[in-house]
Structures are given as C-alpha cells and as structure tokens.
C-alpha cells in the first residue's frame, strides 16, 4: 500500500437540509490506497457524504482533508477526486479511446496515446477502443467510465452505486473486476452502496451508516462476526436475537440465562452493560441435531426445539425451529448429504460454539436494520 500521506479524512462533517440532519458530525479516516465502502439503507446519508467529498455539496459544519490539505472550500475540479456515477455519463459521440483519453488531452498531456491504451487494457477493453458507447454492454460502459476516471490518477475515486444499473450476474463479475483493478492501481476507492454483499465482497473496510451516523466501522469479517448493534447484526446478513439476562462472568466468558437455559458468550463479543442483552447467533453457526442424540461437549446448547418450517434452497436447507418460549429460530444447514433433512414436527436441540455468539444491549430494537422483503431494494 502507498504511503499514508494522502489519507482522506472527514472531521466533524455535518450536512443539514433545513431542519433535517442528513449527515451528523461524521469523523472518519480512509487510508490511502484502501477500498472503503459506505454501506447503509436508502436515505442514511451515504450519497450526501460522497458529494461533500467531491465538492458537489457544502458541509454545514466540519472539514474534509486529503492528506494535510484542507479541501473543504475547493471547487470540485480543483480536488484530487474523481467520481463514477451509476449513470456512466459517457460522451456518446466519442469512441471508447476518445472517452478515456479525454482528461489527458484536455490537460495537454503529450503521451496520452500510450497511457490511454494501457488504461483500456487494464479494464480489459483492448478490442473495443474504436467503438462508441452505444455499441457496448452495460458492464463494458461501466468499465469505460472507470477507465476515464482513473486515467486522471485521482488521489481518491468516488463510486456512487456504480454497479446499480447492471443485472445480478454482471454485477458479481464487475465486483471481482473492480477489486482487481483497485489492487493493481492503488487508488483510494470510496464506494457507496446499499448492497451488503457488494460491500463485503469488495471493501477492506466498511462503514455501516444509519440516520446520518456511522453505526460501526471495520473489516467485513469483523462486522459480520462481531456486530455491536442490532442494526448491524440485521443489516449485514441475518441474525437470531434472543432476549437474555446476564447471570455472571468468568474466564473471559459472559454467562446468560436464555429463558431458563444457560449459555456462554465470549466477553470480547459482549456489548451490553445493563444486565440484559440480545443474544445473537447467526443461522449458519447453529447445528441442529435430533433431541438428546448428541452431548455437544463444550458448546452452547438449547433444548426443546421443534421444527416448524423446512425450506430447501439448493446449497442449504433453512429451518425454522420453535423454541419453548415461543420464538422461532432460523437454522441454515449446508446440504452435504451426510444425513437426511429434518421434517416438520421433528424435535431438535440447537448447538453452537461460544465464540460464535454475540451479546447486544437490550435497549435496542431487535428489528433495526432488517431488510423488509416487501422493499424492492
Ligand atoms: P440512497 O441510497 O437512496 O441514495 P443515501 O443514503 O445516499 O440514499 P442521501 O442521498 O445522502 O441518502 O440522502 C440523505 C437524506 O437527505 C435523505 O433523507 C434525503 O431525502 C435528504 N436529502 C438529500 N439531498 C437533499 C436536498 N438537496 N434537499 C433536501 N433533502 C435532501
């Protein structure tokens, strides 16, 4: 990774639209050369944040810095920043080559031909240089837009839902492609998306935004495995959240009472202070077994479950298991074929490793961050 002298820093950045606070006192550092994702539901303030970095929106308060340079009051074109939008905004009358060369020619760079050819190669469009945008697929147009932005060697490249217009399969391909390009070129990428899978696939650091603030920031695996709020637990993947009360702790384990059954949580994953907590377990971390058939030595076990729904989804089977206190717990099991799937009505025990659970403050809404299946996004 390049030196840290050109980190992007936001210091206490706030944006109000009238009485509405779209971005609320945001402070964060995006290390130079990293792939950073701003992830959150529609309306959480991601695009507004990006636009303030680009200079397209003035912050109500706070500063934007690139390295030691305060760019808060600089015009957009004076900033070492380029933006790629969902609508690629290519010049329709120019060829791929001319589109990509545009920035260099405008600046009077003499060896633009060689640089442009290299960039077109990087985005794997070498055979398409003489085509017009209308003769390209959506994914190819997106790569031209990327090449056109990257050729200016911006310190920071802003990507605003850049893959939003592509169909799912192409989007997956482009995610891998974008990541490869970013690793090769070492430009800082700040990527805005509401798609958690997209953020997790590409970014080395994700900031999860909600209502104008960052709920949690970290590496994808860290956020997924050790969420600190119910919003993050539900927005990144799926979580079972069960109300418990803390009964004690020893040797780095917090013991909680889960409707009369005791289970342990690693202290490093325990984020509650008031004696109660949402016990969180991911559905794929739970191992379901026929009631009483295994001793699950050392693991957490909850007994008394009854299967109420079985959904076969190809790679896995997804169960709903009704627990004695009435809650239905989701369990995902890989279809390895090692045993026959459970059926409705089967009695099961649920087990998981202590290190795979987390404990969250009980004062929070257990439904925060859930993706509503009715929501088209
Ligand atoms: P999306 O994924 O839908 O683009 P977002 O997280 O990028 O959402 P923003 O576009 O940053 O959200 O908007 C944040 C909030 O600020 C929204 O509630 C939006 O309605 C509001 N907002 C954005 N721009 C303006 C504006 N120019 N005037 C008034 N309100 C605005």
| Nearest CA, atom 1, ligand 1 | 42
Report CA Rg, the chain.
24
Nearest atom (ligand 1) to Cα of 18: 29
Angstrom distance (rounded) from CA 309 to CA 325: 17
Q: Go through the domains of the chain in sequence order and give each one's CATH number.
A: 8-225 (3.40.50.300), 238-361 (2.40.50.100)
Angstrom distance (rounded) from CA 304 to CA 210: 37
> Is 0.95 topped by the overall pTM?
no
Residue 374's pLDDT is what? 46
The rounded Å distance from CA 112 to ligand 1 centre is 38
Ligand 1: residue of 39, 43, 44 to mutate (most ligand atoms within 8 A of CB) is 43
Residue 143: name the closest of 103, 187, 180 by CA. 180
The rounded Å distance from CA 54 to ligand 1 centre is 15
| Run means of pLDDT, 10 residues per run, the chain, 377 residues | 73 96 96 94 93 96 95 92 81 94 89 91 89 90 88 89 79 84 88 92 94 96 95 94 93 93 94 89 96 85 97 95 96 92 96 94 88 49
The rounded Å distance from CA 60 to ligand 1 centre is 15
Are the C-beta atoms of 62 and 25 separated by less than 8 Å?
Answer: yes
Are the C-beta atoms of 283 and 238 separated by less than 8 Å?
Answer: yes
| Nearest CA, atom 3, ligand 1 | 42
Nearest atom (ligand 1) to Cα of 51: 11
The rounded Å distance from CA 19 to ligand 1 centre is 13
Please report where in the chains the tokens 């085509």 appear, as a residue: 131
The rounded Å distance from CA 232 to ligand 1 centre is 20
Residues near ligand 1 with C-beta < 6 Å? Answer: 17, 20, 22, 40, 42-48, 194
Nearest atom (ligand 1) to Cα of 45: 11
Ligand 1: residue of 47, 165, 375 to mutate (most ligand atoms within 8 A of CB) is 47
The rounded Å distance from CA 314 to ligand 1 centre is 38
| Nearest CA, atom 26, ligand 1 | 17
Please report where in the chains the tokens 């896995």 appear, as a residue: 316
Residue 2's pLDDT is what? 44
The rounded Å distance from CA 45 to ligand 1 centre is 6
| Nearest CA, atom 21, ligand 1 | 22
CB within 8 Å of 37: residues ≥ 6 apart: 190, 191, 192, 193, 198, 199, 202, 203, 205, 206, 207
Ligand 1: residue of 16, 39, 45 to mutate (most ligand atoms within 8 A of CB) is 45
- What are residue 177's phi and psi, to 5 degrees? -60, -50
| Nearest CA, atom 9, ligand 1 | 45
Ligand 1: residue of 13, 18, 21, 22 to mutate (most ligand atoms within 8 A of CB) is 22
Are the C-beta atoms of 147 and 88 separated by less than 8 Å?
Answer: no
Residue 39's pLDDT is what? 95
Are the C-beta atoms of 255 and 264 separated by less than 8 Å?
Answer: yes
Angstrom distance (rounded) from CA 18 to CA 4: 37
The rounded Å distance from CA 198 to ligand 1 centre is 21
The rounded Å distance from CA 43 to ligand 1 centre is 5
| Nearest CA, atom 24, ligand 1 | 48
| Nearest CA, atom 16, ligand 1 | 22
């Amino acid at each position: 990774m390049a030196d840290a002298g050109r980190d992007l820093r936001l210091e206490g950045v706030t944006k109000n639209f009238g009485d509405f606070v779209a971005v609320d006192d945001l402070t964060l550092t995006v290390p130079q050369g990293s792939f950073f994702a701003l992830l959150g539901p529609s309306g959480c303030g991601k695009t507004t944040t990006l636009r303030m970095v680009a200079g397209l929106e003035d912050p109500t308060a706070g500063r934007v810095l690139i390295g030691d340079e305060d760019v808060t009051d600089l015009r957009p074109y004076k900033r070492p920043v380029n933006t790629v939008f969902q609508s690629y905004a290519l010049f329709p009358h120019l060829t791929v080559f001319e589109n990509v060369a545009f920035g260099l020619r405008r600046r009077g760079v003499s060896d633009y031909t060689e640089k442009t050819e290299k960039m077109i190669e990087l985005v794997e469009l070498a055979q398409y240089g003489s085509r017009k945008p209308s003769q390209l697929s959506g994914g190819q147009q997106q790569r031209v837009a990327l090449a056109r932005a990257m050729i200016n060697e911006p310190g920071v490249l802003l990507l605003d839902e850049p893959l939003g217009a592509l169909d799912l399969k192409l989007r997956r391909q482009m995610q891998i492609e974008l990541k490869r390009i970013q690793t090769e070129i070492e430009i800082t990428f700040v990527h805005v998306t509401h798609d958690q899978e997209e953020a997790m696939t590409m970014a080395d650091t994700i900031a999860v935004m909600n209502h104008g603030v960052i709920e949690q920031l970290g590496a994808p695996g860290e956020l997924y495995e050790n969420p600190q709020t119910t919003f993050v637990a539900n927005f990144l993947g799926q979580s079972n959240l069960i109300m418990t009360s803390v009964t004690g702790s020893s040797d780095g384990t917090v013991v909680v009472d889960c409707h009369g059954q005791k289970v342990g949580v690693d202290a490093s994953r325990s984020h509650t202070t008031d004696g109660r907590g949402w016990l969180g377990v991911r559905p794929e971390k739970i191992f379901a077994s026929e009631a009483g058939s295994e001793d699950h030595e050392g693991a957490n076990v909850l007994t008394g479950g009854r299967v109420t729904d079985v959904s076969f989804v190809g790679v896995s089977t997804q169960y709903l298991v009704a627990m004695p206190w009435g809650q239905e717990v989701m369990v995902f099991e890989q279809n390895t074929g090692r045993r026959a799937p459970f059926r409705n009505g089967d009695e099961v025990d649920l087990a998981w490793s202590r290190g795979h659970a987390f404990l969250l403050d009980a004062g929070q809404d257990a439904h925060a961050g859930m993706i509503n299946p009715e929501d088209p996004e």
